[in-house]
Structure 1
Amino acid sequence: MSVWLRALAAASLLAAGAVGAQPTSAGQPAGTFAFVDVDVLPMDRDVRLASQTVVVRDGRIVAIGAQDEVEVPADATMIAGTGKVLMPGLAEFHGHVPGGDDPAYVADTLALYLANGVTLVRNMSGDATHPELRARIERGETDGPTLVVASPWLRGESAAAVTAEVWAHHAAGFDLLKLGSIPADTWPAMVAAANAAALPFAGHIPEGVPLETALGAKQASIDHLDRYVEFLVPPGTDTQGREAGWFGSGWVQWTDRGRIDDAVKRTRAAGTWNVPTLSLVEHMASSEAPEAMLQWPEMRYMPAAERERWRRAKHEYATRETFQPDAAQALVQLRRDLLKALHDGGAPVVLGSDAPQFFNVPGFSIHREMAMMQAAGLTPYEVLVTGTRNAAQALGTPEAFGTVEVGRRADLVLLAGDPREDLTHARTPLGVMARGRWWPREALDARLADIAERHAK
């Protein structure tokens, strides 16, 4: 079994009780729970199953059925579900968990994800401490969502250096390689080493590497729709020496939408997943002043230094020649159209927002991302699929999680309403179960209040 699969197939249990202020917890084993008289969105199909009982034992779903047909174990903690909706927890496929030099910030970030119903994070900001953090969560020693951990950015300047990096990250136990700014001429060596080490590579496409080359190499995921804009510019176009800019903003005026179908077909044939992170670009492209954005309710949960970094960054981006308002807005619309075309054309899409990053607060940003995906033309149910069963499929573990079925890991959220009718029902879940451990809303809110109080000082 590859390192990639190991992290997602693991059945270790999350820590007991409410999310604590410290990065460790009591680590008690998950018990037995029964959600009684609850409506279930199984997410293996578009249906709402009324008045079900769902039994969880030792971190796994062990029984599902009509309320009068499923026996509730005598030792079960019963969770009333009348009038409520139970569905799989959400995945954040482009998260950023801080490094181990600030344990409190790590714990806060994990808590923010859980409080918003995110029960799996593919961490794309690698740090040497993350394989052990993943293991501590699996052992039940630290509270948090299941982690899939990418390596630090590959940065080698030669084929030999990149090859050495790949094998070092393999030895360190990372689940995948985070592609960064390696020179284009080192790409073949990276691909060869990654394939030899059985490490998927994902994230950006390095400058100078065309989209079709990355797809031909079976890149596991392309994040941020990277290099698609450049692909849509017909070969031979005179770009007047202009830089491509941020995710193609400098070249968006030369794109040919007639090439979108080719991009979709190539992506589908490669089996490469896209993690759109619409919110990353849309936040920076919006006309809303960063000072106003910092008044959003969720900003209270971020450190002051991070908020200031975001404020400065938005002002700096506004001065870029390649990110002026017309180009920025054209990029936003093109990215939405690309997402819709990829999705409708059968190219696989998985939910991710890139958080914490530019006004994206962990957990909260996934709900902003979902709203933007709906605005791009996906239905609420289609959006939810990208954050549930598609995440399991993207990791090669379709039977591990992502649906409400017997045998699946108990990553669940209890909601007041049906998010297929209105995605806002997925916000502020009434309770979250991660790896069989239950956090009622009161516990989640208490943890949020603690984070906000510390950052207000």
Structure 2
Amino acid sequence: MENDQVLADQAILVTDGTIIKIVPMSDATDFKVNPVIDGGGAYVYPGLAEFHSHIPVAQNGNTELQEEAMWLYLSNGVLRIRGMIGHASHLPLKARIDAGELDGPRLFLSGPSFSGSSVSSPEQAAQMVSDEKAAGYDHLKLHPGLEMDEFLAIAKTAKELGIPFGGHVSLAVGLKASLENGYKSIEHMDGYVEALMPDYSKVLEPEKAGPFTMLLVKEADMSKLPELVDLTLKTGAWMAPTLTLFDRYFGYKPAEDYRNAPEMKYMSAQQVQSWINAKTPYEERGTLTKENVQPYLDFRNELFMTMHEAGVPILMTSDSPQVFNVPGFSIHHEIELMSEAGMSNYEILKTGSVNPAKYFDQEGEWGVIKAGASADFVLVQENPLVDLNTLKVPVMVVMKGKVYDRNELDKQINKIEENHKRR
């Protein structure tokens, strides 16, 4: 992943979960190892990411849904997860995976989110930052509803303690102040949509703005965008676009059409129904017509590519499990939309591999296939630089040196399907 060149006929030596060296097959006879796994001519790449995940919560100590989500990610070649709505039950989940007691991707966890309902004062907000850092969370997630003084207290304390933070942009704070005070990532891009509005007061009126400012995009003042892009680059912020969330949740395709989508068999009937119930009110109000939705999706694609082409670093994100976005499978929907928007296959692969490692200042430790890196990689049948569809069915997944062949992956997700079989 240092460039888009394909190295043919290579052998990878892995010891104790680490890539020791990579050599041409003609030199592999020097490897005195067991077992030797024949890749069968497959292509190897570092795997994908879901860097906007809502990891399930363990209910009364029941970790079944958490463990199912981990297998759904692994079976789709998704090897690194950034949790974005934290819960205390996520910490032991990560500990079990790190200890090798449970199969799963590499996890980076946020604590419980900071929002208008969880934050009551600057002092309480600062204490909440300290508590989450002490608990062992990796970053902070901010939701809407924060007042400026509360936000500044969060930002100040987070920087003092060295814990990254980001998320939604609160209306009382705004994009500029968020970026200038240390936001590491902007989720969903809606903060940019709001910042481009010539009449900000309309953003504050849900009936006029619609979900995520959908109904106002035709009023966006694009002359403001270059300044926002420059500020984003100057402050080093990252972009988490979650294109598939908006395509599915706020798209014009009817909610009922998703009920029998192939991947829904890995979710409970109750979960799927709750997602239908979440979208249906927008349909009943007449918000999600093609006339309203298509300009919004086109605008988001334009914003996405403008930011990318300017050099703003992008993270692979789909917001799963969220409305009609099933863990693992939704990343492939995200990839399709990134490609349709105009991003190259190689740049798409970067958003799920080297970029996430850079985001957490762990560049070279994982997300690449080179000596010294963790043995986290995926084998696929075709060249993903040519055919992105090959990413949907990994031949084999290797996570910290542990090998999962297709039979094992299928066995695990078939169990999940059986757990949620419609009776």
TM-score, structure 2 as length reference: 0.94
Matching residue of 1:166: 129
Report 1:149-164 matches (<5 A).
Answer: 149-154=109-114, 155-164=118-127
Q: Which of 248, 268, 280 is the matching residue for 1:315? A: 280
Report 1:191-210 matches (<5 A).
Answer: 191-210=155-174
Q: Which amino acid aligns with 1:149?
A: L
Q: Deviations over 1:77-111 (max 9, x none)?
A: 22212321011011111111111213111110000
Deviation of 1:240 after TM superposition, in Å, equals 9.9
Instruction: Tell me the matched-pair count.
Output: 415
Matching residue of 1:104: 64
Matching residue of 1:18: none
Provide structure 2 residue ranges, at least 5 long, that are not aligned to the other structure: none
Deviation of 1:320 after TM superposition, in Å, equals 4.7
* Alpha carbons of structure 1 residues 227 and 299: separation in structure 2 relative to 1, 3 Å: same
* Alpha carbons of structure 1 residues 295 and 240: separation in structure 2 relative to 1, 3 Å: closer
Matching residue of 2:418: 453
Matching residue of 1:122: 82
Whole-Å separation in 1 of the counterparts to 2:203 and 2:403: 55
Which stretch of structure 1 is more off in the superposition, 254-263 or 148-157? 254-263
Deviation of 1:341 after TM superposition, in Å, equals 0.5
Deviation of 1:72 after TM superposition, in Å, equals 5.4
Q: Which has the higher helix share?
A: 2
Matching residue of 2:38: 80
Matching residue of 1:363: 328
Deviation of 1:134 after TM superposition, in Å, equals 1.2
Q: Which of 223, 237, 245 is the matching residue for 1:272? A: 237
Whole-Å separation in 2 of the counterparts to 1:432 and 1:140: 16
Report 1:11-22 matches (<5 A).
Answer: none
Q: Deviations over 1:291-310 (max 9, x none)?
A: 22121111100111110111
Matching residue of 1:184: 147
Deviation of 1:285 after TM superposition, in Å, equals 3.1
Q: Which amino acid aligns with 2:45?
A: M
Q: Deviations over 1:155-175 (max 9, x none)?
A: 212112211211111121111
Matching residue of 2:175: 211
Question: Percent same amino acid among aligned pairs?
Answer: 35
Structure 1 runs (4+) greater than 6 angstroms displaced? 236-240
Q: Which of 128, 137, 146 is the matching residue for 2:106? A: 146
User: Is the Cα contact below 8 Å between 1:237 and 1:254 reproduced in 2?
Assistant: no
RMSD: 1.8
Q: Deviations over 1:339-377 (max 9, x none)?
A: 101110011111110000011000001011011001111
Provide structure 1 residue ranges, at least 5 long, that are not aligned to the other structure: 1-42
Matching residue of 2:14: 56
Report 1:411-426 matches (<5 A).
Answer: 411-426=376-391
**Does 1:302 pair with 2:302?**
no
Matching residue of 1:440: 405
TM-score, structure 1 as length reference: 0.87
User: Is the Cα contact below 8 Å between 1:225 and 1:247 reproduced in 2?
Assistant: no
Deviation of 1:443 after TM superposition, in Å, equals 0.3
Whole-Å separation in 2 of the counterparts to 1:435 and 1:313: 38
Deviation of 1:268 after TM superposition, in Å, equals 1.2
Whole-Å separation in 1 of the counterparts to 2:399 and 2:262: 25
Q: Which amino acid aligns with 1:160?
A: E
Deviation of 1:132 after TM superposition, in Å, equals 2.1
Which stretch of structure 1 is more off in the superposition, 110-119 or 280-289? 280-289
* Alpha carbons of structure 1 residues 402 and 145: separation in structure 2 relative to 1, 3 Å: same
Whole-Å separation in 1 of the counterparts to 2:80 and 2:285: 35
User: Is the Cα contact below 8 Å between 2:53 and 2:319 reproduced in 1?
Assistant: yes
Whole-Å separation in 2 of the counterparts to 1:191 and 1:239: 24
Whole-Å separation in 2 of the counterparts to 1:229 and 1:321: 22
* Alpha carbons of structure 1 residues 238 and 61: separation in structure 2 relative to 1, 3 Å: closer
Deviation of 1:238 after TM superposition, in Å, equals 6.8
Q: Which amino acid aligns with 2:153?
A: A
Which stretch of structure 1 is more off in the superposition, 415-424 or 205-214? 205-214
Deviation of 1:237 after TM superposition, in Å, equals 7.9
Which stretch of structure 1 is more off in the superposition, 67-76 or 346-355? 67-76
